[in-house]
Structure 1
Amino acid sequence: MAQVQTRVVVDVTLDVPDRPEPVTGRLISIPEQQMPILNDIHISQGRYIEAGRSDEVLVSQAFAEANHLELGDTIAAVINRRWQRLRVVGYALSPEYVYEIRAGDFLPDNEQFGVMWMGRDALATAFNLDGAFNDITLTLAPGANPDEVIFRLDQILEPYGGLGAYDREDQLSHRFLDDEISQLRTQAVIIPTIFLAIAAFLLNILLSRLVITQRDQIAVLKAFGYGNGAIGIHFLKFVLLISLLGAAIGTGAGLWLGQALNQLYMQFFQFPLLEYQVSVGMLLGTIAISTGAAVLGAFGAVKKAVALPPAEAMRPEPPATFRRTIMEQLGFQQFLSPVGRIILRNLERKPIKAMLSIAGIAVAVAVLVAGRYVSDVMDYLMDVQFDRAQREDVTIVFNEPRPAQARYEIAQLPGVLYAEPFRTVAAELQFEHRTYKLAITGLEPTGELRNLFDRHLNPIDLPLDGVLLTSKLAEMLGIQPGQILTVNVLEGAKPVRQIPLIGVVDEMVGLSAYMDIHALNQLMREGGTISGAYLAVDALELDRLYDQLKQTPTVTSVLLRESTIRRFRETITETRGAITSILVVFASVITFGVIYNAARIALSERGRELATLRIIGFSRLQIAVVLLGEQAALTIVAIPLGLLLGYGLAGLMSLAFDTELYRLPLVISRTTYGFALVVTLIAALASGLMIGRHLDRLDLIAVLKSRE
């Protein structure tokens, strides 16, 4: 170990001005005199605490902003059974709480939870820890083995009640930030790849048509001595011009979106400074990649241009060869109108182009489905977690296990309609060579406020003599129901027990182990000891309950279900609107680009044919159906494929979100499918209307003139 520092860390109940409900504060000791320490704080406003002033504290900036705390304001706190007022002298940020969240919460709730830093002497004295500590931070020397250090630390601290050491990778804030970076890295590869592939396809069909319309110019240039290389470079310059203009627009849009994303992350992660920086190398790299994709997409068309012999290029392009379609060969032509046969023949004449168009539209549909998947799964999480599993109004946690009589005292609290006590015991679960440390939660077997479900949302009853694990935890330990789990208890007498795994429960947040509270009490060789309770409360009596809890010294934490739900909904609303808007724009651009370009090029290629149809008696509507019917047929085929592809992309996202901190099941609502369908059809209709305007201006005489 290179550096070791001890400190005192305790959770207390706070009475914040202008906030009726109790708030949880985490007090962390810091030296009386400012000096460099591990997990050092950054004071963003105000000053450091003064030595000898036991009432001065620094508060986290996010907590201060959420509760409108000003420098000099006081906060009342229950510190070791004593009511004490703490004065805010500064706002601070800590690398340890970049993601300021307490265990058990889904999202940071800075109104209900905040970190505060207090002088070491004052905090230790208040909790009878003068000269002692209950928390250690340390750094390792170069080349040290973290696992070996953790093992030795656990051995050394075991006689003193140590609950187990953990590496920085398992630190809560670090885990959230690391998972977010990993997801961004994955998205930064997948999404650009999709759009670059579509852009390459569009450039290919655009340049192919350009080569066809300039056959005679190519022939003249070759006749005057221009080589294949010069012709190819000419067309590549055209591609490079398009790609560079697109890169300029995309760079500006990317910088703007990057700044917006940066501001969004500042709402969740507490950094002293989070600057959005783009290096010149990154800009040049992205431009090079996009330009390379454009050149790759145009390669086939350029190859076609340089391969044209001058004599052949001087002649008009040979007319398309039509033949009976497969449906006609099977005798189904009687079910098709003349217009329908024209559409089907033209699609069969260019199958590769048709398939690429279908793929482009399908990708647009898939982007919409996969993009709204996160919104769907959040709605599902809200329903399962808060309407079915966690039905309590208030959760209270004691600062230490309380005897059985506390059950009756809880029931007498103001406004409490129903109370379910629970017991949590810190333990290390072991199966074969795999271990995991967490708190086993003992629940009432006949409880109504906390329910457990399997993956099909079927209720699971607590076993009388076994344990239930979340499916992710069982997977990490490699254990199956019916096998024996070793439980090394980390508190009290620290017994070691062999307990069978009875089954698994499906939960989307965190890792948990559950037992019947009575079986857990027996395992600990204790009476009806409890660690806290879930409460159903009369809404009209909440203020009285809050006042009582603020002054109850044994209560260290109060969690409010309504506050969690409100914060969750606010976060979803903020992110959902922005993400949905971006996805709609991107998907609409893809759909419009594919359909419009395909139809516009088809109009250019088949202008003579459409004009002929008009002269022999086809109406404007009929020739519009001939032209746009092909795109309509491609869109109709692409939509179900896109829905299936979107389901597959959502499935991949579900696998990517399968972590220890949270799991997102594969849940897609009918509304999402309908949304993707409507957006795609609107984009297709918009492109069709623009092509219709070109058809209205079709010069029949000009297009029927043969080229000399």
Structure 2
Amino acid sequence: MSPLGHKLWRDLWHIKGQAAAIGAVIAVGVLLLVMQTGLVTSLQETRDAYYDRYRMAQVFAPAARAPNQLVDRLAEIPGVAAAYGRVTGSALIDIAGRDLPVQARAVSVPDFGPPPINGYLLVDGRHLDTRQDSEILLLESFAAAHGLRPGDRLSATMNGARRHFRIVGLAQGPEFLYVTAPGEIIPDAARVGVSWMSRAALSAAYDMDGAFNEALLRLGRSATEAEVLDAVDRVLDPYGGLGAYGLEDHGSDRFVTEEIAGLRATSRSVPPIFLAVAAFLLYIVMTRIIQSEREEIGLMKAFGYTDREVATHYLMMVLVIAGGGAVLGAALGVLAGRLQVEIYLEFYKFPFLVFRVDPAAIIAGIGLSIAIASAGGLMVMGRVFRLTPAAAMRPPAPADYSRTGRLAAGIAHVLDQPSRMVLRRITRQPVRMAGSTVGIACGMGLSVAMISLMASFDGTIEHSFSVADRSDLNVTFTHAVGESAIFALRRMEGVIEVEPIRHVPVVFRNGLNDYQGALTGLVPAPRLFRALDRDDREIAPREDGVILGAALARILDIAPGDMLSVEMRQGRQEMLDLPVVGIAETRMGAPAYMELAAMNRAIGEPGRVSGAYLRIDPEVAAPLYQRLNDMPAIAGVTLKSDSREAFQRIMDTGAGAVRYVMAVIAGVITFGVVYNAARIAYAERARDLASLRVVGFTRAEVSFVLLGELVVVTLAAIPIGSGFGFGLAWAVSEAFSNDIYQVSAYPDPASIGSAAVAVLAAAAFSGWVVKRQIDKADLVLALKTRE
């Protein structure tokens, strides 16, 4: 090893604490990049392979009741490669130990052969014997949640009739990666089931002999989806077609796609922040090292080392720190990705999910880390080239503290000597002090952003389930029913309040933007479920316009006062042009609201409702659940407490779980930044502080000279870091928000307080570490200095 090589490792060992802190910042950035990029690749490729293997439909076309002969007409539409008609329906499954039945979806299987489109994967048991009406396949995740196995029996209510079945197998399907109950967006394997039955048995149960109520289509490579959707609607309109839609609007695929998009957004936005902070810290450290090693640089040049060799020596120090952190981050990213895949495998119902290491992400992460770190190092390399041996071996000119500015002059007479020294340092070296302040502010900002983000997630849950929704449960009817059903609910013992509601499938259009969703009809003065603005003030539904959720308004790029086209997919299926009369601050989904009676008039079905919100007496809840279960028109009953627990699980898994990881990382980085600032300040003034001890200053006074500077810099960084933190929190919340849920970042004093405490604690610990070094300072070294 060359002499410069020996010096390199000695120098790295000397600054091992600072190097480790900077390497950790780089490792975190690379970890997030490798983990999230790998998760995007794994989810996307597994989903695509799963869809292709089991022939996932690309067009879905629900209808009221269409004759089987229409399948051939659908197959003849230009661009359609295959068409398949099936029967689907809702069911209520009785589970032992539960007061309320579990909602399920029943799907038909051809009497001969496997489904040509939207097949299924048998994971346990055997396939159906389609000659046996009582045999079913059950969704594997639902069966696991209730301990059901092949051979078990269960009963279910289908189309108002109680039926008994035997489970012969457990299955998974590509269309059921993300399963939710009707009218909900929260998945819960224990509360939502799927069963596969023979076509003959399911047709008999739902009066669909010789007919189907859902068509599935696969498209050719040259197909234009919009043209196919229009053609399918024309064919099915006479038979109660509810509007064909593409795979991107399918509920399960939309949730998976949003998760992938969220991971992709955070992988592009968050890692560069950590790498930029690392580059800044490296710049400060290298500046300090080159300044303190002036004499060594002069000696190296005097002994014949060229400018290039000396500069390469210091650049190698940067590359070792950056490269070591990047390699460690890549290894930890692979490990973290494999652990995260296990969470996704439970959350999304893939048959398998293997973390795919993306070599490009590793190469990009390591290369970007080294490039950014090198940029920070190269900014100070010019000083090496400018130093001649003679000038370098002379000590630098002492700093001029004769003038401390008007502020210092005005208050110097009331300060003791150590305080004046702190004030001089700050006022005479404002750029250096500003650099330390910005570094600590970056760490403070990361802490504020992550704590604010956690509070925002909790605020989403609180707003959705306590402020906007004040009911205890909601019921969903099998079909749109008359007001007599609401009167029946109000007469039940234990029901305190009932509020009817109706959901109608629609397509919203604003120029080139469109969105397939639902229009919700609310009573004129809702109490149990309300539309609220940003200040949580109620927005009353109006007959002459619609209220859009904030997410939907953003998707459609529309504002209050603009006209919105609403294509109804029920009743008369008219196209309405309605003004937007308000924007609701919704945190879940992308809803739209209208006055219930006006909406029913628009579709030609007055007095109809599809569900209701209830407030009940908890003392008589159990018998009330039984009476609700006995009502044949009810498709499902959902307790708000169950939905809240399910939503909390969503927030704690998937992309939502990343906020906990990032909060821990932010705390570590905050400490690393503050610790680096303290160590750099001590390294720059070690001889000066030792000299003060020689001339008679006490240990406490010498410590105050250095730590007072750290206190001032830290306190100045807190307000700057708070502003940066809220900006970062807004950017990250935008990346996390999607059609499923919206995370709103807002100024939270508690977040500032918690982050400020973390920064002050890091500063106190760093100050304690540095004070120990001051107390152990070598006074002989100070006496030997030539200054």
Same fold by TM-score greater than 0.5: yes
2:404 aligns with 325
Q: Which residue identity is paired with 2:771?
A: G
- Say yes or no: does 1:254 pair with 2:333: yes
Moved more, 473-482 or 272-281: 473-482
1:642: how far off? Answer: 0.8
Q: CA separation in 2, counterparts of 1:219 and 1:521?
A: 87
1:18: how far off? Answer: 2.6
1:371 aligns with 450
- Say yes or no: does 1:630 pair with 2:709: yes
Moved more, 281-290 or 521-530: 521-530
Please, which runs of 5 or more residues in structure 1 have no aligned partner?
Answer: none
2:433 aligns with 354
Q: CA separation in 1, counterparts of 2:582 and 2:394?
A: 77
Q: Which residue identity is paired with 1:620?
A: R
1:627: how far off? Answer: 0.8
Moved more, 55-64 or 164-173: 55-64
Q: CA separation in 2, counterparts of 1:570 and 1:27?
A: 26
- Say yes or no: does 1:31 pair with 2:100: no
Q: CA separation in 2, counterparts of 1:84 and 1:98?
A: 27
Q: Which residue identity is paired with 1:535?
A: L
2:347 aligns with 268
Q: 2:480 aligns with which of 385, 401, 404?
A: 401
TM, length-normalised to structure 1: 0.92
- Say yes or no: does 1:2 pair with 2:118: no
Q: 2:141 aligns with which of 59, 62, 72?
A: 62
1:225 aligns with 304
Q: 2:756 aligns with which of 677, 681, 698?
A: 677
Q: What is the correspondence of 1:120-519 to structure 2 with a 5 Å cutoff?
A: 120-328=199-407, 331-429=410-508, 436-464=515-543, 466-474=545-553, 476-477=555-556, 481=560, 487-495=566-574, 501-519=580-598
Q: 1:640 to 1:432 in 2, by over 3 A?
A: closer
Question: 2:655 touches 2:736 (CA, 8 Å); kept in 1?
Answer: no
Q: 1:524 to 1:254 in 2, by over 3 A?
A: closer
1:641: how far off? Answer: 0.7
1:471: how far off? Answer: 4.3
Secondary structure of residue in 2 paired with 1:250: helix
Q: Which residue identity is paired with 2:764?
A: L
1:640 aligns with 719
Q: What is the correspondence of 1:533-572 to structure 2 with a 5 Å cutoff?
A: 533-572=612-651
Q: Which residue identity is paired with 1:243?
A: A
Q: 1:407 to 1:453 in 2, by over 3 A?
A: same
Question: 2:476 touches 2:611 (CA, 8 Å); kept in 1?
Answer: yes
1:84-112 CA distances to partner (integer Å, 9 max, x unpaired)? 12322333222222222245434312221
Q: 1:673 to 1:56 in 2, by over 3 A?
A: farther
Moved more, 57-66 or 511-520: 511-520
Q: 1:525 to 1:285 in 2, by over 3 A?
A: closer
1:28-60 CA distances to partner (integer Å, 9 max, x unpaired)? 222345536333222233332222122222222
Question: 1:25 touches 1:115 (CA, 8 Å); kept in 2?
Answer: yes
Moved more, 661-670 or 690-699: 661-670
1:624-648 CA distances to partner (integer Å, 9 max, x unpaired)? 1111122211111111111111111
1:673-699 CA distances to partner (integer Å, 9 max, x unpaired)? 221111111111111111011011012
Q: 2:599 aligns with which of 505, 520, 532?
A: 520
Q: CA separation in 2, counterparts of 1:68 and 1:136?
A: 33
TM, length-normalised to structure 2: 0.83
Q: Which residue identity is paired with 1:46?
A: G
Q: CA separation in 2, counterparts of 1:435 and 1:234?
A: 59
Q: 1:253 to 1:73 in 2, by over 3 A?
A: same
Q: CA separation in 1, counterparts of 2:166 and 2:739?
A: 38
Q: Which residue identity is paired with 1:305?
A: V
Q: Which residue identity is paired with 1:450?
A: F
Question: 1:392 touches 1:535 (CA, 8 Å); kept in 2?
Answer: yes
Q: CA separation in 2, counterparts of 1:475 and 1:300?
A: 42
1:194: how far off? Answer: 1.8
Identity value in percent: 36
1:137-178 CA distances to partner (integer Å, 9 max, x unpaired)? 222211322112212222221111111111222222222222
Q: Which residue identity is paired with 1:285?
A: A
Q: CA separation in 2, counterparts of 1:387 and 1:595?
A: 40
- Say yes or no: does 1:705 pair with 2:784: yes
1:74 aligns with 153
- Say yes or no: does 1:662 pair with 2:761: no
Q: 1:48 to 1:368 in 2, by over 3 A?
A: farther
Question: 1:370 touches 1:647 (CA, 8 Å); kept in 2?
Answer: yes
Q: CA separation in 1, counterparts of 2:169 and 2:764?
A: 58
Q: 1:589 to 1:305 in 2, by over 3 A?
A: farther
Q: CA separation in 2, counterparts of 1:369 and 1:706?
A: 44
Q: Which residue identity is paired with 1:143?
A: S
1:367-406 CA distances to partner (integer Å, 9 max, x unpaired)? 1222123322233223322223212222111112223322
Q: Which residue identity is paired with 2:599?
A: L
1:341: how far off? Answer: 2.6
Moved more, 311-320 or 155-164: 311-320
Q: 1:56 to 1:413 in 2, by over 3 A?
A: farther
Q: CA separation in 1, counterparts of 2:564 and 2:666?
A: 50
1:580: how far off? Answer: 6.1
Q: 1:33 to 1:622 in 2, by over 3 A?
A: farther
Secondary structure of residue in 2 paired with 1:90: strand
Q: How many residues align structurally?
A: 708
Q: Which residue identity is paired with 1:10?
A: G
Secondary structure of residue in 1 paired with 2:315: helix
Secondary structure of residue in 1 paired with 2:536: coil
1:262: how far off? Answer: 2.0
1:651 aligns with 730
Question: 1:377 touches 1:668 (CA, 8 Å); kept in 2?
Answer: no
Question: 2:91 touches 2:105 (CA, 8 Å); kept in 1?
Answer: yes
Secondary structure of residue in 2 paired with 1:405: helix
1:15: how far off? Answer: 0.9
- Say yes or no: does 1:586 pair with 2:659: no
1:434: how far off? Answer: 5.7
Question: 1:360 touches 1:591 (CA, 8 Å); kept in 2?
Answer: no
Q: Which residue identity is paired with 1:621?
A: A
- Say yes or no: does 1:45 pair with 2:124: yes
1:425: how far off? Answer: 3.2
Secondary structure of residue in 1 paired with 2:410: coil
Q: CA separation in 1, counterparts of 2:657 and 2:574?
A: 52
Q: CA separation in 1, counterparts of 2:91 and 2:115?
A: 26
Q: CA separation in 2, counterparts of 1:675 and 1:141?
A: 56
CA RMSD of aligned residues (A): 2.8
Q: 1:538 to 1:572 in 2, by over 3 A?
A: same
Q: CA separation in 2, counterparts of 1:638 and 1:75?
A: 64
Q: 1:587 to 1:422 in 2, by over 3 A?
A: closer
1:96 aligns with 175
Please, which runs of 5 or more residues in structure 2 have no aligned partner?
Answer: 1-79
Q: CA separation in 1, counterparts of 2:579 and 2:671?
A: 59
